[in-house]
Structure 1
Amino acid sequence: MAELRDRLLRALSGTTGPSSDYDFQRDPPADVDLLPAGVLAAFDGRSGRLVLTKRASSLRHHPGQIALPGGKVDPGDADEIAAALREAHEEVGLNPAQVQVLGTMPAHRTVTGFAMTPVLALIHGEFTPVPEAGEVEEVFTVPFEHIADPANYRIEGRLWRGARRDYYIAPYGPYYIWGATARVLHSLALRLAA
């Protein structure tokens, strides 16, 4: 666990610059007021595996997508870290007492109007995920080696709202990790490789 922690701490001290869902677009929209959000990139301290969710297909926003546990900062949250910990507890049953927060990466601007702050953390002890009914269809893990290797990421694109939108993907088995989640993890991979 010490080696994993040290690698993640070194990654946090590196720089990759800000990221955005608009990274590949020539004319991103003008600056708007973004809502603060926090997502938890929590790695199992023993296995190094990253916890991800598959969102329920019935959700209004991002149905069926692969995501890091997290969400918008609510009025009762002190900051993005508190929001990420609260949401991870709600979405996957992760007890905040088991989480060692290591730090945050720069916020990622999403097309849905959020400034999404990735919170890097380690999970200590046994953790059996409990998906939140109606919001999380599945909880699964991905090996650290997959997340940490920049060669596992590539750029794809599709038409979205009448224009081509390019984005990172990092498929793993049956899971299509893409968009904001893949972009944040790609930034982490670059920091880990530096």
Structure 2
Amino acid sequence: MPKAPDPLTHIKAALSRDSAASSDFDLNPDVVLPKGRKLRPAGVLVPIEIKQSIPHVILTKRASHLKHHPGQISFPGGKQDDDDADVIAAALREAREEIGLPSDNVDVLGTLPTHETVTSFLVTPVLGHIRDVFDVIPEPGEVEEVFSVPLSHVTDPAFFSIQSRRWQGQRRHYFTVPFGPYYIWGATARILRGLAERVSGS
């Protein structure tokens, strides 16, 4: 019996391509970032699950009462703690805490270039394949909802747009990749845009 094709072949190929680091300021060339600024290392997991042979990426909606990024769509992740071996370990730990994903249920496929955020984090996106179905357990008080989006939607540049709003007295432009009722924007959309560029070869 022939072996079924690997639904993640294009993602693995994309990870082998080169691309530059990104930041929340990519679409705002007038912003001058101070030299010597201190950035805190962080890791986010881009968790990929296969549903009926179709890859999906799991995302979270942050609780609306949080001080930072309330109600925004994000990957599971956060800053690297002293006890974390590296940013990959931080991403896996945060996914375990935020959505109940066991770390030993994740095959790490690789990492994308770092992304600098407006909150002074240097984020490393970690792509991971979830091998088996798991019980999603949103972290009380921090995660309002856990949902998934077809990977094909967030890796197609055609679904992205550039929008803007005023932030700290200036007009700030950013990528968006909406899906149904979910408004995916900011750092999450920029990281996905970078992955989309790799997948499309652009």
TM-score range, shorter chain: over 0.9
TM-score (norm 2): 0.93
Out of 5, 8, 26, the residue aligned to residue 5 of structure 1 is 8
Q: Does the 8 Å CA contact 1:22/1:28 hold for their aligned counterparts?
A: no
Out of 125, 146, 158, the residue aligned to residue 132 of structure 2 is 125
Hey, what's the Cα distance between the residues in 1 that align with 2:13 and 2:142? 34
TM-score (norm 1): 0.97
Question: CA-atom RMSD, angstroms?
Answer: 1.2
Hey, what's the Cα distance between the residues in 2 that align with 1:148 and 1:114? 24
Report what 1:20 is aligned to: 23
| Compared CA separation, residues 2 and 88, structure 1 to 2 (3 A) | farther
Report what 1:64 is aligned to: 71
2:158 aligned with 1:151, yes or no? Answer: yes
Q: Normalized per residue, which structure has more helix?
A: 1
Hey, what's the Cα distance between the residues in 1 that align with 2:55 and 2:76? 17
Q: Which amino acid aligns with 1:41?
A: V
Out of 168, 172, 182, the residue aligned to residue 179 of structure 2 is 172
Shift of 1:2: 5.3
- Describe how 1:9-158 pairs up with structure 2 within 5 A: 9-25=12-28, 26-31=30-35, 32-46=37-51, 47-158=54-165
> SS at 1:168's partner residue?
strand
Which blocks of at least 5 consecutive residues in structure 2 are unaligned?
Answer: none
Hey, what's the Cα distance between the residues in 1 that align with 2:5 and 2:109? 12
Hey, what's the Cα distance between the residues in 2 that align with 1:86 and 1:108? 19
Q: Does the 8 Å CA contact 1:8/1:120 hold for their aligned counterparts?
A: no
Which blocks of at least 5 consecutive residues in structure 1 are unaligned?
Answer: none
> SS at 2:55's partner residue?
coil
Cα offsets for 1:60-117 (capped at 9, x unmatched)? 1111000000000000001110000000000000001110001111110000000010
Q: Which amino acid aligns with 2:60?
A: T
Hey, what's the Cα distance between the residues in 2 that align with 1:84 and 1:12? 17
Q: Does the 8 Å CA contact 2:8/2:55 hold for their aligned counterparts?
A: no
Hey, what's the Cα distance between the residues in 1 that align with 2:125 and 2:98? 16
Hey, what's the Cα distance between the residues in 2 that align with 1:192 and 1:78? 29
Which entry has the higher C-alpha Rg, 1 or 2? 2
Give the count of matched residue pairs: 194
